[in-house]
Amino acid sequence: MSEHARVRRCLALFLHAEERRSIDLAALLSGQANVHAHPAWQALAPHLSCAVDLDAGDVEALGRISEATWTARADALAAVGEARLQRLVDLGLVLEEARDSFANERDQTLRDAKWHPLLAAAHAFSRWSGVDSLAEQAGSRLRSTEDLIAQAGPPPPHFHERADAQRRTRLPVPVADELDALLARRATCRNFDTDARIGTDVLAAILHRTFGVQGSEEIAPGAVALKKNHPSGGGLHPLEAYLLVRRVEQLPSGLYHYNTQAHALDRLRELSANEAGELAHAFVAGQDYFADAPVQLVIAARFARSFWKYRHHPKIHRAILLEAGHLSQNLYLAATALDLGAYITAAINEVEIEQAFGLDPLLEGPLAVCGFGPRASRRRTIELDPLGKVWDGDALRS
């Protein structure tokens, strides 16, 4: 560390206290099962790739170094000592000015992106990598709803009533129309025809109706408001569509970005059938019934687009997630209108998706994966269809 360097703490840092347990092996061999519990600290810093173990001295030292202003090295040494300061620099929690390091670069990216620190940590540490959710479920004792009820008891009541309600007013049931018929046929698909392909015209229609620009207006120099078919926080529309295409006519298997301005697909990388299948399985965390869809669509947020207006805002991440919900429902309805099945899942391996599409999670991150395509003629995996609009027993209703 340079004699004249200045230091500061990373922008976002949260401490997690946990109790770790260890077994006294000597006692165990003598017939005593002594379990020792000891407190432990972890630093959750979203600019780093993983949690960092700390001791009590680290925790105290971190509280003595500012995250907002650069502090002279001599002052930091006086506050925490040379060995402690160097350890925190090596861990990436204290940054040295003008030092070319991974921690410095990522911390500056986080600062420039205008994240609210708490939301940045929640986003960074809720991402999955290498998860196979079905394999984990198969290895657990919770393989069915009955298993869950046996362990946790029944769920909260499916209908909710307020005991303190003063009066009930009955409401008229609306006369069913075309929208009601479409909504009745809308059901999550877990059974795709793995031999079927969809046309580029079908893919284009779904993309245009969900992500497509319907109109635009310049509201100030350099600021354009887009009209899309769903609401967006601040009218900023930060969500992008990234596609893993496997079975679409006239399109090679590969990774694509939907260019909304041109209403076009920009191919990022062509894939073999095996490569596409492996990525499809990884994207949806091993949910093979979802991986069977001919198209997977990743809803990804360009965070800087929203953070430009809502800087360090504690609510904007919630607004972005709400927008993803609006998009997925429009996708469901667009697919259903074309007699296709669709799904959305948040059980995804974000890290694998980021790596495949070249996304920096501090700037642009996947929120969910949708898929769509023709349904299989027979139901192999359970689907919820209480209205009986999709399935006749286990056969696809014609």
Which H or E element spans position 299? strand 295-302
Nearest to 316 by CA among 238, 390, 245: 238
Angle at 185 between CA 179 and CA 189, to 5 degrees: 135
Each residue of 41-91: pLDDT tens digit? Answer: 999 999 998 999 999 999 999 999 999 999 999 999 999 999 999 999 999
- Rounded average pLDDT over 354-377: 98
pLDDT surpasses 90 at 230: yes
CB neighbour class for 368 (10 Å; exposed up to 12, middle 13-18, buried from 19): buried
pLDDT (0 to 100) of residue 71: 93
Using CA atoms, how far residue 63 sits from 57, 121, 369, in Å, is 10, 18, 40
pLDDT surpasses 60 at 272: yes
Cβ pair 127, 352 in contact under 8 A: no
Q: Which CATH fold topology does 179-396 show?
A: NADH Oxidase (3.40.109)
pLDDT band at 159 (very low <50, low <70, confident <90, very high): very high
Distance CA 239, CA 324 (A): 7
pLDDT (0 to 100) of residue 27: 61
Using CA atoms, how far residue 256 sits from 48, 57, 269, 300, in Å, is 28, 49, 7, 13
Higher pLDDT, 35 or 294: 294
Each residue of 81-109: pLDDT tens digit? Answer: 999 999 999 999 999 998 889 999 999 99
pLDDT surpasses 90 at 294: yes
pLDDT surpasses 70 at 316: yes
pLDDT surpasses 70 at 23: no
pLDDT (0 to 100) of residue 137: 84
pLDDT (0 to 100) of residue 100: 87
- pTM of structure: 0.92
pLDDT (0 to 100) of residue 30: 67
pLDDT (0 to 100) of residue 99: 84
pLDDT (0 to 100) of residue 140: 83
Domain with CATH 3.40.109.10 in the chain: 179-396
- Rounded average pLDDT over 162-183: 96
Each residue of 106-123: pLDDT tens digit? Answer: 999 999 999 999 999 999
Structure tokens at 350: 């974000």
Give the other-Cβ count within 10 Å of 111's Cβ: 15
**Max Cα-Cα span within the chain:** 79
pLDDT (0 to 100) of residue 215: 95
Cβ pair 64, 79 in contact under 8 A: yes
